[in-house]
Amino acid sequence: MSALFFLQQCLIGLTNGALVALMALGYTMVYGIIRLINFAHGDLIMLGACLALTLVGAFGLEAAGTATAGVATWLGIALLVGLCGLFCGLVNVAVDRLVYRPLRDAPKLAPLVSAIGVSFIFMNIGLFWLGPADRSFPQLLPTANLLPGEGLQFGWKDLLVLVVVVPLMAALMVLVKSTRLGKAMRAVSQDETAAALVGVDVDRVIAATFFLGGFLGGAASVIYGLYINTIGFQMGFQNGLYAFTAAVLGGIGSIPGAVIGGLVIGLVRALSTAYVGERWAGAMVFAILIVILVFRPEGLLGRRTKEKV
């Protein structure tokens, strides 16, 4: 258990964490704006992965034998990310329109339970799409190590995660900070009624948020497939659980919080897999969640919300 080993685990953890963070963003954005835990988000990502698998077959992207990935492969992956993102975004918007919007004024439990219902519907679709067994996702990228020397492993797949996740998050931050839509989103999240009064089209802003969250989820689904290489109709539950935990850990509703939370979860998982055993990794993440909730219930970067009286 040398320092190098530790470093390697951290590297794995951070890469994994970036992926978790990408998934967590979908939760945190939707929660931030309408205070809904979108239970279906994990299963939406699963649907995205289904589409990605189908598209990989349709595009004939399977060849990857060379030491470096060709331009065609990268273009293909970029196209996959775009298409799956679009697909998940649109599905998310449709679900919002059909299921959540009519329940805007209902008691809190109603949209939450509906979200569970939607997640079931997605799962059933995934079951038809993939079949009951796990499917392997083709290895599109070469397995060579990109770092010099034997010590640390950092392959093309890890690079892919960073290449996709970092720009997406940066773009999201810019969008939320400095565009009109971003300002409208922040306004709606602060006070829906007030935002409506000053002329913000609340329903459209919410739909846009669902689209963005879904888009990131769709992107995450492609990365997930390429990175983990196994997908199945039940993957949404586990991943959703981790991603949502990341969102809570970082401070739900906070976008940088989701990123930090994702990285923390990735690290905890990687380190406990290495030092305690993989079968206890979930329990460790859960223990960390409880500890955070005890000492900092608003999350690492979250702000205390005041209740309206």
Residues that bind other proteins in the complex, under the rule CB under 8 A:
31, 35, 37, 99, 102-103, 106-114, 116-125, 127-128, 131-132, 237-238, 241, 244-245, 248, 279-280, 282-283, 285-286, 289-291, 293-295, 297, 306-307, 309
Residue nearer to other proteins on the CB measure, 71 or 133: 133
The nearest distance, CB 44 to other proteins, in angstroms, is 13
The nearest distance, CB 283 to other proteins, in angstroms, is 5
The nearest distance, CB 300 to other proteins, in angstroms, is 14
Residue nearer to other proteins on the CB measure, 7 or 113: 113
Residue nearer to other proteins on the CB measure, 164 or 247: 247
The token duo for 22 is 């990408």
Give the integer Cα–Cα distance in Å for 198 and 135.
50
Give Rg (Cα) of the chain: 19
Residue nearer to other proteins on the CB measure, 154 or 183: 183
The nearest distance, CB 178 to other proteins, in angstroms, is 20
The nearest distance, CB 148 to other proteins, in angstroms, is 34
- The closest of 118, 115, 122 to 34, measured between CA atoms, is 115
The nearest distance, CB 215 to other proteins, in angstroms, is 23
Residue nearer to other proteins on the CB measure, 180 or 304: 304
The token duo for 300 is 């690492």
Residue 309: DSSP 8-state: -
Residue 144: left if φ>0, alpha if ψ -120 to 50, beta else—which one? beta
User: Is-contact 156 143, C-beta < 8 A?
Assistant: yes
Give the integer Cα–Cα distance in Å for 110 and 118.
12
User: Is-contact 298 255, C-beta < 8 A?
Assistant: no
User: Is-contact 255 209, C-beta < 8 A?
Assistant: no
Residue nearer to other proteins on the CB measure, 34 or 212: 34
- The closest of 307, 243, 293 to 38, measured between CA atoms, is 243
